[in-house]
């Protein structure tokens, strides 16, 4: 069971509060339609604050791994989620529009006394997902075993160590 994560976003920002934790992927209903498996957790960190223009904001970062289906070889693969957004809070849509005209990179949302943190996390993950997910390099024979044949960086390090020790200096 997951407890609902609801904040008063305006107050959260004004008070400079922070919140972080983990949420099971299966509790992120809007994300489930885009991933291959509901196993795993997403870690999140939410930080409130007030910017130089005295605007309240929420900074949200999410990290974790989801399983996506490669559109080239049709095999699932692990995709690393690493999202970080600055959400500036406004009291009405007109102010969001005006601020967005001044600053095209601005992400404005309405301040809410009952802001669902899960909603924000879902939005952040959906933004981070590629439209057409693909392996960087698909397994040549369509056999996912060949993914495991990639050189293991630790094995390479180990080899370097051994060489060093063998060096008669």
Residue closer to Zn ion (CB basis): 68 or 96? 68
Rounded to a whole number of angstroms, the minimum distance from the CB of residue 77 to Zn ion is 7
Q: Rule CB under 5 A: which residues touch Zn ion? A: 70, 72-73, 135, 138
- The residue nearest Zn ion at its CB is 70
Rounded to a whole number of angstroms, the minimum distance from the CB of residue 138 to Zn ion is 3
The DSSP code sequence of the chain is -----EE-HHHHHHTT-EEEEEEEGGG-HHHHTT-S---SEEEEEEEEEE-TTS-EEEEEEEEEEEEEE-TTT--EEEEEEEEEEEEEEESSHHHHHHHHHH-TT-EEEE--TTEEHHHHHHHHHHHHS-SS---SS--TTS-GGGGGGSPPHHHHHHHHHHHHHHS--
Rounded to a whole number of angstroms, the minimum distance from the CB of residue 74 to Zn ion is 7
Residue closer to Zn ion (CB basis): 12 or 79? 79
Residue closer to Zn ion (CB basis): 69 or 86? 69
């Amino acid at each position: 069971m997951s407890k609902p994560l609801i904040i008063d976003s305006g107050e959260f920002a004004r008070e400079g509060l922070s919140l972080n934790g983990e949420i099971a992927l299966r509790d992120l209903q809007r994300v489930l339609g885009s991933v291959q498996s509901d196993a795993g957790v997403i870690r999140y960190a939410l930080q409130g604050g007030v910017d130089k223009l005295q605007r309240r904001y929420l900074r949200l970062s999410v990290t974790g791994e989801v399983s996506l289906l490669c559109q080239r070889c049709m095999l699932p693969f692990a995709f690393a989620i690493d999202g970080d957004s600055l959400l500036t809070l406004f009291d009405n849509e007109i102010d969001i529009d005006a601020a967005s005209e001044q600053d095209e990179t601005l992400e404005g949302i309405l301040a809410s006394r009952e802001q669902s943190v899960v909603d924000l996390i879902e939005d952040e993950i959906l933004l981070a997902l590629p439209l057409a997910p693909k392996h960087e390099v698909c397994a040549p024979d369509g056999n996912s075993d060949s993914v495991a044949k990639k050189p293991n960086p630790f094995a390479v390090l180990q080899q370097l160590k051994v060489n060093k020790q063998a060096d008669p200096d």
